[in-house]
Amino acid sequence: AQSVSQHNHHVILSEAASLELGCNYSYGGTVNLFWYVQYPGQHLQLLLKYFSGDPLVKGIKGFEAEFIKSKFSFNLRKPSVQWSDTAEYFCAVNNPFWAGGTSYGKLTFGQGTILTVHP
């Protein structure tokens, strides 16, 4: 069974600091990769996704992530964080060929990383 591991449970930064959140997954086949964000009191929102092609993907709000197939990693980065980035971040993996041809597959989530940004 595939699994997703996020390296840090809680990251605390000051505004303008750079951010990198680690994500590793266990499945060796074709995967789709996602980062979701959950702002306080809000629902899960898609931050960015990787399906194929350029392994460096850009998402909303200045976030980007790099897919490194050899390391089974999909780390999230942002050059300069803002107080409004305070949220919980989830890495998720989807195996697009799981459970038959009509299924778009389940998402397997990491345990989440809480990011606190101090002004």
Partner 1 sequence: ETGVTQSPTHLIKTRGQQVTLRCSSQSGHNTVSWYQQALGQGPQFIFQYYREEENGRGNFPPRFSGLQFPNYSSELNVNALELDDSALYLCASSLGYEQYFGPGTRLTVT
Are 23 and 76 in contact by the 8 Å Cβ rule? The answer is yes
Closer to partner 1 by Cβ: residue 75 or 94 = 94
Q: Of 9, 12, 32, whose CA–CA distance to 22 is shortest?
A: 9
Closest CA to 112 of 87, 77, 79: 87
Q: Please answer whether residues 67 and 33 qualify as being in contact, where contact means their C-beta atoms are separated by less than 8 angstroms.
A: yes
Tell me the closest approach of the beta carbon of residue 16 to partner 1, in angstroms. 29
Give the list of residues 6+ apart from residue 16 with CB closer than 8 angstroms, or none: 80, 81
For partner 1, the closer of residues 11 and 107 by Cβ is: 107
Contacts with partner 1 by CB under 8 A lie at 4, 32, 34, 36, 42-46, 49, 51, 90, 92, 94, 96, 98-100, 102-112
CB nearer partner 1, residue 24 or residue 94: 94
